[in-house]
């Protein structure tokens, strides 16, 4: 039985993608997100899963203590860092997909594919989810 060349090519591309998984995982796990508050008094660094790995607070912040402002700066810088690393990880993942799959997905409305974009939902930051929950309560 002869296999349709389109399916054969797609299978070969998927096999190549599978062989690149270890390298892709390594690249993804080496990503960091770094963000600063607008006044550069707070620096936040997050790892590839959005977990806080470093927090630097300029000591000048404590000259005029304002806990609410400091909290807001830390949270915003954290959100920015998470968004940055999430975008990079998504780009790395997208590079690994056969171009035809990306084209098909881009052309089809989500409802026609039979599922919501669960990956995008999974990649939403915990801070965004928490803020939504707080708004509802």
For the stretch 7-25, pLDDT in tens is 888 788 888 888 988 999 9
pTM of structure: 0.71
The answer to whether the CB of 36 falls within 8 A of the CB of 76 is no
36 pairs with which residues across the strands? 43
Q: What is the CA radius of gyration of the chain?
A: 20
Is the pLDDT at 125 greater than 80? The verdict is no
pLDDT score, position 113: 47
The domain made up of 29-125 is a member of CATH 3.30.1310.10:
yes
d(CA 127, CA 35): 15
**Any idea where the domains of the chain sit in the sequence?**
29-125
Q: Average of pLDDT values for 46-53?
A: 92
Name the most confidently modeled range: 39-43, 93-97, 115-119.
39-43
CB neighbours of residue 88 within 10 Å = 17
């Amino acid at each position: 039985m002869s296999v349709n060349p389109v399916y054969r090519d797609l299978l070969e591309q998927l096999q190549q993608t599978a062989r690149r998984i270890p390298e892709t995982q390594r690249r993804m796990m080496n990503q960091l997100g770094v963000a600063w508050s607008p006044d550069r008094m707070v620096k936040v660094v997050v790892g590839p899963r959005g977990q806080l790995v470093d927090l630097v607070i300029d000591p000048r912040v404590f000259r005029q203590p304002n806990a609410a402002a400091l909290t807001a700066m830390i949270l915003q810088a954290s959100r920015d860092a998470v968004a940055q690393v999430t975008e990079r990880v998504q780009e790395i993942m997208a590079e690994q997909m056969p171009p035809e799959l990306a084209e098909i997905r881009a052309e089809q409305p989500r409802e026609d594919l039979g599922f919501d974009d669960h990956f995008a939902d999974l990649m939403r930051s915990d801070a965004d989810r928490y803020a939504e929950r707080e708004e509802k309560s």
